[in-house]
Amino acid sequence: MSDPASASAPRRDTRGIVDPAELLTRVRFRRHTPAPELRPYLEHYWLIDWELTEPYATHVVPHPSVNVVFQRYGPLGGPPEAAESSAEVSGIGLGLFTRKLTGAGRVCGVQFRPGGFRPFAPAWPVSNWTGRRVPLDEVFTGADPLSAVLSPDGDHARVAALDAFLLAHGPAPDPAAEQAMELVDLIRSDRELRRVSRLAAASGLSARSLQRLFATHVGVGPKWVVLRYRIHEALERAESAEAAGAPDWSGLAAELGYSDQAHLVRDFTATIGVPPSAYARGVSVP
């Protein structure tokens, strides 16, 4: 198993964010590393604050990850009762996630590694949350960390509150979760691994056992994970097109394991809302 606990800083890429340059001009976005005991299960914490003079819609192609999200909409410096606050478990998003931001607000999120959420909520298969957003107390009974997470102005205090909340709820030892995380890492890092049959062979599992492992511990099937990481890479290539020149979409399709360019264009358009060539030209997402 790879050892995220040895990581000194969270990843810095913007993979999955649609038009990240525009987002970063509108909000304060940063990532933080969790406590060492949590790093094997988490990607990072992500914090966003904004004070806008006009509405702004942000779009994200979700990772195959569960997130726990604490959010506050209202004056950042005002009393808690002047703002609308909530906390939720956000399962893997199957389509493009869009959120309209207005006025002022704050979000503190926990992004789990694919496969890393089950040790904190072992009573349910992770597929139970896929495509859903449910109140935090439906998953973590008795939990009420809203004020501790959202009230501090400093990042250090917010990160400490997130650490305390998660450490109070696990993680429970789960060898199957470790296996699921390893296999998703393999999909993410090995671009030659494009077929579920190859993943099954690499894992030593039957195709049926592999599907069951992913449903229980990741929340979606392995083929879906492969396709989602393909779209993330295509989106990243489209983002860099202005600086590097128009991508070779046909070559990229072959590189990502598509049978032809049309399949890449169809998947990209279905997920993002515009074809990759139009997105690279700066056409707005609907």
pLDDT at residue 246, rounded to an integer: 67
pLDDT at residue 206, rounded to an integer: 94
**What residue ranges do the domains of the chain occupy?**
4-167
pLDDT at residue 185, rounded to an integer: 94
Question: In DSSP terms, which residues pair with 60 in a beta bridge?
Answer: 17, 97
Mean pLDDT in runs of 10 for the chain (286 residues)?
52 84 93 97 96 94 96 77 87 93 95 97 96 94 85 94 94 95 92 84 92 97 92 83 68 83 89 82 64
pLDDT at residue 286, rounded to an integer: 60
